[in-house]
Amino acid sequence: AQSVTQLDSQVPVFEEAPVELRCNYSSSVSVYLFWYVQYPNQGLQLLLKYLSGSTLVESINGFEAEFNKSQTSFHLRKPSVHISDTAEYFCAVSELRSASKIIFGSGTRLSIRP
Amino acid sequence: KAGVTQTPRYLIKTRGQQVTLSCSPISGHRSVSWYQQTPGQGLQFLFEYFSETQRNKGNFPGRFSGRQFSNSRSEMNVSTLELGDSALYLCASSWGTGGVSLEQYFGPGTRLTVT
């Protein structure tokens, strides 16, 4: 069975600083990978996804994540964060054979200091 | 296009009772998935329905059940409620169940409190 580990439960950073949210997964088969974001008092939104092809995927608001098969990682990065990026970020994985069964990590709370 | 809607948004029930939650997917979406979110366990997959058939199921007891109607609307039912069932229940819809069709859109959730 697949699983997802988000190594940091909380990440505090200063505004305009770079950030990396770490995610490792475990699966014996090919997977799809996702990052979701949950803003305070709001529902989950898909930030970006890796299905196939280029291992570097980008979101419209400056985040990017790189699929590393050898290290089974899918870390999320942003070169310069903004106050509005304050949210909880969830890494998730699903196996190709049951793609709609998405397994989430425990989440990383990103707090931005001015 | 309207988003995923869930009703009710908040619910308070007593231990031992049963509850039914409803989810209306985005128009045209045929897949509906349910998740439970708690501070202790995080987000956990409950089950997924596609074209009125349960396609995937998580590791929850049989007290948790669901169904999907021909218009893709879905309901989930929890019988014999326990205090530990207090959670935010999230519904997500997608057009399909695999590959590029697998982009799930989440509703705002139903906050269930069991007393």
Å between B51 CA and nearest CA of chain A: 13
**Which of B30, B89, B104 would best serve as a mutation to test chain A binding (most A beta carbons within 10 A)?**
B104
Which residues pair with residue B13 across a beta bridge? B114
CA A6 from centroid of its chain's CA atoms: 9
CA A78 from centroid of its chain's CA atoms: 11
The per-residue pLDDT for A29 is 83
* Beta-carbon separation of A100 and B94 below 8 A: yes
C-alpha span between A44 and B104 (Å, rounded): 9
Across residues B22-35, what is the average pLDDT? 94
Chain B contacts to A (CB-CB under 8 A): 31, 33, 35, 42-45, 48, 50, 55-56, 58, 90, 92, 94, 97-100, 102-109
Cβ-based contacts under 8 A for chains A and B:
58
pLDDT at A65 over 70: yes
- Give the pLDDT band of residue A43 (cuts 50, 70, 90): confident
* Contacts A104 to B, Cβ<8 Å: 35, 42-45
Which residues pair with residue B44 across a beta bridge? B36
Please answer whether residues A66 and A74 qualify as being in contact, where contact means their C-beta atoms are separated by less than 8 angstroms: yes
CA A69 from centroid of its chain's CA atoms: 15
Per residue in B37-58, pLDDT (tens digit) is: 998 889 999 999 999 999 889 9
Q: Which long-range contacts (CB under 8 A, 24 or more apart) does A65-69 make?
A: A65/A23, A65/A33, A65/A35, A67/A33
Per residue in B88-114, pLDDT (tens digit) is: 999 999 887 665 556 788 999 999 999
The per-residue pLDDT for A98 is 73
Across residues B59-80, what is the average pLDDT? 97
In sequence order, what DSSP letters do the residues of A28-71 get, joined into one string?
SS-EEEEEEEE-TTS-EEEEEEE-SS-SEEE-TTS-EEEEETTT
The per-residue pLDDT for B101 is 57
The per-residue pLDDT for A97 is 73
C-alpha span between B5 and B28 (Å, rounded): 14
Of B97, B100, B107, the CB nearest to A43: B107
C-alpha span between A13 and A94 (Å, rounded): 30
Per residue in B9-23, pLDDT (tens digit) is: 999 999 999 999 999
Q: How many residues does chain A have?
A: 114
Of A32, A43, A98, the CB nearest to B109: A43
Helix residue ranges, H only, A3-89: none
Q: How many residues does chain B have?
A: 115
C-alpha span between A64 and A58 (Å, rounded): 4
* Contacts A45 to B, Cβ<8 Å: 106
pLDDT at A10 over 70: yes
The per-residue pLDDT for A26 is 92
Across residues B74-80, what is the average pLDDT? 98
The per-residue pLDDT for B1 is 66
Q: How many CA atoms lie within 13 A of A13 on its CB side?
A: 23
Of A9, A16, A11, A2, residue with least CA distance to A82: A16
* CA end-to-end distance (rounded Å), chain A: 41
The per-residue pLDDT for B98 is 63
The per-residue pLDDT for B97 is 65
pLDDT at A42 over 90: no
Of A45, A49, A101, the CB nearest to B48: A101
Per residue in A78-112, pLDDT (tens digit) is: 999 999 999 999 999 988 777 778 899 999 999 99
Do the bridges between strand A64-68 and strand A3-6 make them parallel or antiparallel, or are there none, so unpaired? unpaired
| 3-state secondary structure (DSSP) of residue A14 | strand
Mean pLDDT, chain B, rounded, equals: 92
